[in-house]
Amino acid sequence: MGDKKVPSKHYHYLKANFPEVMAAVETLGATAREAGPLDKKTTELIQLGVAASAQSVGSVHSHARRALAAGASRQELEHALLVLVSTIGFPKVAAALSWIQEVSD
């Protein structure tokens, strides 16, 4: 798996039609990640868990790719999701595990 981020078709649409908003969103995300002591891998694993709890397939794909690019192993992705079973429930975790499989295979 390469480190290159592959934006979705919808992301390209948003960027083309709302460039100022998308620039602000991207800047806010980067600023928040850089505001504290957590490393990139850790912040991506946290965001992966939140994406799973929201059942956002695109966000799970995106944060799984980013976590892998930041040095996370597939086992770390899976563990980050498995620890959520008692919080968000097995069905949501199982779904998210299948979505990370789509980007890590």
Task: Report pLDDT digits (tens) over 82-102.
Answer: 999 999 999 999 999 999 999
- Domain contains 1: no
- Domain contains 39: yes
Q: CATH code at 69?
A: 1.20.1290.10
- Domain contains 4: no
- Domain contains 17: yes
- Domain contains 24: yes
Identify the pLDDT of residue 47: 96
User: Whole domain around residue 66: which residue ranges?
Assistant: 9-104
Q: What's the whole-model pTM score? A: 0.83
Count of domains forming the chain: 1
- Domain contains 70: yes
Q: Where are the alpha helices (DSSP H) in 6-84?
A: 9-17, 19-34, 40-53, 57-69, 74-82
Identify the pLDDT of residue 105: 77
- Domain contains 2: no
